[in-house]
């Protein structure tokens, strides 16, 4: 079995485990575990097939998937660039989150409700650290590490689709797909999954931190403060209705913000690759030669990848 086929089979197994866990928790809602365990345990179970592939089935040959998982250290400057790129990507992911959660609770809000009342450090571990370590090991380590040897552009897109589908709802799929692309490019720019793991932790950890800050502020508001905020919100709404002539200007400003965010992401990745001795690697991925590269045996789309993607799409259509 080629490394590409192994990666696709790994994705299919990961999706089946993810869905099985959802049905088990739904069937036994009073299973008696605390919120922290309920959030951490599924991630630890999810990583089991990848751990088995890397540490049990390794054979030392060139198609050994374990050889694609690299956690070499990066410099403090690189960590700073990783943080810059991650924060620059936030406006893009936030827009996708907003567009796919109109008139309904976003997945992020549902997760925030799960760790409501949990100590901050515990929430940071459950929502930030554990998913970052586990999901990056699976997707940017095992799966992308194998698929990239076939064609890096296709590998980035397919791995990001797989990563988005893992979340099993349209809302999270949208911004997880966009984030997945950035995380794959970080791995290319640094040559290590550690960079994408740090970025994933920063992304999730920032959401947790902001949630706790906003909750603390809300808890300290008096009834008069709340009434004043509602009055200001109503006045703002009235102003928006009366000022539709300024809507075009607002749209232009918003578009400029997002174009600037994309520019910072691209420049940040370029600086990151240069800082890690891989200058020009991002440009080479999207060059004509990069788009046409076909350097490994196996097919990107085989029975395993199609099965995993079909399961994820079907679940979202029915339940998402």
**Per-residue model confidence (pLDDT) at position 29:** 83
What are the pLDDT digits (tens) for 91-129? 999 999 988 988 776 777 777 777 778 999 999 999 999
**Per-residue model confidence (pLDDT) at position 294:** 87
**Per-residue model confidence (pLDDT) at position 242:** 47
Spell out, as residue ranges, where the chain has pLDDT lower than 70: 57-68, 105, 225, 229-230, 232-246
* Alpha-carbon span 2 to 65, nearest angstrom: 9
The radius of gyration computed from the CA coordinates of the chain, to the nearest angstrom, equals 21
**Which tokens hold the place of 49?**
């097939």
* Alpha-carbon span 316 to 313, nearest angstrom: 5
**Which tokens hold the place of 3?**
């490394």
The answer to whether the Cα torsion of 192, 179, 90, 19 is positive or negative is negative
144 contacts 155 by C-beta, under 8 angstroms: yes
State the alpha helices, DSSP H only, in 167-246: 170-190, 193-219, 223-242
* Alpha-carbon span 15 to 162, nearest angstrom: 9
**Which tokens hold the place of 185?**
């490019």
**Per-residue model confidence (pLDDT) at position 69:** 81
**Per-residue model confidence (pLDDT) at position 223:** 74
What are the pLDDT digits (tens) for 69-87? 889 999 999 999 999 999 9
**Per-residue model confidence (pLDDT) at position 13:** 96
């Amino acid at each position: 079995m080629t490394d590409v086929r192994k990666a696709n089979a790994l994705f299919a197994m990961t999706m089946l485990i993810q869905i099985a866990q959802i049905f088990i928790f739904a069937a036994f809602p009073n299973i008696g575990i605390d919120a922290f365990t309920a959030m951490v345990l599924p991630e630890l179970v999810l990583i089991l097939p990848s751990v088995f592939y890397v540490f049990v089935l390794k054979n030392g040959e060139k198609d050994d998937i374990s050889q694609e998982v690299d956690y070499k250290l990066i410099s403090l400057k690189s960590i700073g660039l990783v943080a810059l790129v991650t924060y620059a990507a936030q406006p893009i992911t936030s827009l996708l989150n907003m567009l796919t959660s109109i008139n309904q609770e976003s997945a992020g809000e549902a997760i925030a409700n799960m760790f409501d009342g949990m100590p901050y450090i515990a929430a940071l571990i459950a929502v930030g650290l554990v998913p970052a370590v586990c999901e990056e090991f699976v997707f940017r380590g095992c799966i992308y590490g194998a698929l990239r040897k076939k064609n890096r552009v296709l590998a980035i897109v397919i791995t990001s689709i797989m990563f988005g589908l893992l979340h099993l709802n349209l809302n999270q799929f949208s911004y997880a797909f966009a984030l997945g692309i950035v995380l794959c490019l970080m791995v290319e720019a640094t040559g290590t999954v550690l960079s994408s793991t740090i970025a994933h932790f920063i992304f999730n950890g920032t959401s947790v931190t902001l949630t706790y800050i906003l909750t603390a502020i809300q808890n300290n508001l008096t009834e008069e403060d709340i009434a004043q905020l509602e009055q200001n919100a109503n006045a703002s709404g009235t102003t928006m209705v009366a000022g539709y002539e300024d809507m075009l200007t607002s749209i232009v400003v918003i578009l400029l913000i997002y174009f600037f965010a994309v520019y910072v992401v691209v420049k940040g990745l370029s600086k990151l690759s240069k800082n890690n001795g891989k200058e020009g690697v991002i440009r080479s991925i999207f060059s004509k030669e990069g788009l046409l590269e076909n350097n490994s045996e196996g097919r990107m789309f085989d029975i395993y990848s199609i099965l995993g993607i079909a399961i994820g799409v079907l679940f979202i259509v029915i339940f998402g």
